Amino acid sequence: MKTLISIVGTTGIGKTALAIALAKHFSTEIISCDSRQFFKEMNIGTAKPTAQELAEAPHHFIGNLSVEDYYSIGKFEVESLAKLEELFLNNEVVIMVGGSMMYEKAVINGLNDLPEANEENQFKLNNILETEGIESLQKLLENLDPEYYKTVDIQNPRRLLRAIDIIWQTGKSYTQNIAESTVERDFKNIRIGIEAPREIIYQRINDRVDVMMENGLLQEVQNLEFHKDSVALKTVGYTELFKFIDKEWNLEFAISEIKKNSRRFAKRQLTWYRKEENIHWVNFENPLEESLSLLNKLM
């Protein structure tokens, strides 16, 4: 049976480097399930692989969309499975990497048969967003589904709107709705997670934000100001700097908020992954050697 090796872990932990090293070891290709790296205009703020890294192993689903394009987890499931089928024709192993938990879940377990967006619900929720702000949506979801609230990216309004809409339509929490996997895949899946002490994770995040700023993140965000209302840009690293550009915050405070919100997202990732039972954890200091040792036993 063909094997999909999925690399998971918090933001900034070193998933890209491990994925490339494994792809080179197996002479194979990489599928990205990082939903922020799909967009060609968002490079620095999403920690997209560099041109040199992309040249080391073939990558798919990186920079393939514009920030103005509509995209969904459902579309990603269909397109990534089609790409996997193509790649498995010539490869026994394919690598998948990314910290977007629901996108990974869609590939390895399938999505539940969730209802389409309800127009009336979407109108109500968008009205709340516009008149009361994203904080009201966050509180609403926390009351309706505290478990999902702990893991969802609460800075992403699309995620909040979708979850609340599903809850209203089904009468069940979003957690209940996505709990059951719907399909059996025709490939084997091995999940490898990179772990580190929380203080290391947080320090890496803080350092990475500083490097992003040095590499021109502010200029990247300024160039995207015309598109700032697009859903893709309502994410950490961009929303904070738009507030600086709009003179709501000073630059020092905006940078501190990027670091804080990135650490919060890492905490949500940790909460999600802790509940998963089939992740094989390797240490951040020696991830390749530990991964190869694991894979020798599992494959």
**Annotated binding-site ranges:** 9-16
Binding-site residue numbers for substrate are 11-16
Rounded CA separation 33/103 (Å): 6
Question: Around 2, how many Cα atoms within 13 Å sit in the side-chain half-sphere?
Answer: 18
- The phi and psi torsions of 96 (rounded to 5 degrees) equal -125, 140
Binding-site residue numbers for ATP are 9-16
What is the identity of the amino acid at 198?
A: R
